Amino acid sequence: MRDARFISRDLSGGPEARRPHARERDKAHLPDEILNAVEPGLATTGGPLILASSPHARRGVLWDVFKRHYGPDGDPLTLVAHGPSTLFNPSLPQRLVDRALEKDRARATAEYLAEFRTDLETYIDIAVVEGCVGGHREMLAAAGTYYSAFCDPASGSGQDSFTCAVAHKKSDGETIIDAVREVRPFFSPSAVIGDLAILLKSYRIWQINGDHFAGEFPRELFRKHGICYEVCKWPKSDLYRDLLPLLNSGRIVLPRNDRLVAQIVCLERRVTRAGKDSIDHAPNGHDDVANCVAGVAAVLHSSSYYNIAALAS
């Protein structure tokens, strides 16, 4: 063995592949970038490439290798070792595995039994999302245009960002995301809302929609600036469900925002224990920017939007 390269990063497209990275857009296909960087060196040394990871969804580098080479029909030069944690680590107590399976069988089956999850699907391909990105980062308000806004509040002391999106709808039904603002922790919610109030008023917006976070605190702070905060009546999963046809049809124009693209691409569609589809970020992931964009798109396409727009015009 002249040159062995051991890669322990999650190559299954799982939560590890979604941790912060220098370039947010690369986060959506980070495992491919790792292999592209390593393989040229192996071409000259001839050393083996060793991948080690717990399986996650049925996508990504690990799944591709497993699907092509596991079993007697695979490439004889590619060895795929597949087994539960207790096989590779006999000292692991079985009671710990049993407890994890009882708590969350789908996740523990992947982590301890090394089975790829069948309850997860990719939300959307990155090429589709990038095809919806326009040439702007932020648009100025235009006369005679009615704008809507949606925000995803945060306390400023945790890991979540405080985000806000402003958008309008053209006469042909196309949705334009004019502006996306994100403030990462740590911050003062009062100061952030004060800055956002200036942004909203520049677009002649006096009412903003948002989620249920922290009860009354965003409503009271926005009210101090003369802006009405309305709690969104749709769950987040429904917002992403309704955003999908807009993306697939190209009827939404996104700003040039790498974090927005990465967060949309990293969303996962899964089946809950009740048999219902759920769309959300992966464990340890974030979707604050994607959530406010999906929210403002839903507001623009709701039946109440037409009544508000008619009153404003």
For the segment 210-250, what is each residue's pLDDT rounded down to a tens digit? 987 656 789 999 999 999 999 998 899 999 999 999 999 99
Same domain, 73 and 198: no
Whole-prediction pTM value? 0.70
Choose the final residue of a domain: 118, 137, 167. 118
The sign one gets for the Cα dihedral 95, 117, 125, 251 is negative
Which positions ≥6 away from 140 have C-beta within 8 Å? none
Domain extent for 156: 126-312
Same domain, 85 and 177: no
Residue pair 207/172 in contact (Cβ under 8 Å)? The answer is: no
| pLDDT of 125 over the 60 cut | yes
Please give the structure tokens belonging to residue 247: 């993306």
The structure tokens 């995301």 sit at: 177
The sign one gets for the Cα dihedral 6, 34, 288, 123 is negative
Please give the structure tokens belonging to residue 101: 């399976």
Report d(CA 288, CA 260) in Å as an integer: 9
Same domain, 177 and 267: yes
CATH code (residue 274): 3.30.420.240
Residue 278's beta-bridge partner residues?
270
Q: What is the pLDDT of residue 3?
A: 41
Lowest mean pLDDT among 73-82, 262-271, 301-310: 301-310
The sign one gets for the Cα dihedral 120, 126, 130, 131 is negative
Lowest mean pLDDT among 63-67, 141-145, 197-201, 213-217: 213-217
Most confident residue range from 78-87, 93-102, 228-237, 249-258 = 249-258
Summarised one tens digit per residue, pLDDT across range 136-166 is 999 999 999 999 999 999 999 989 999 999 9
Report d(CA 291, CA 278) in Å as an integer: 14
Q: What is the pLDDT of residue 109?
A: 87
E strands present in 207-294 = 207-210, 228-231, 252-253, 268-271, 277-280
Residue pair 4/52 in contact (Cβ under 8 Å)? The answer is: no
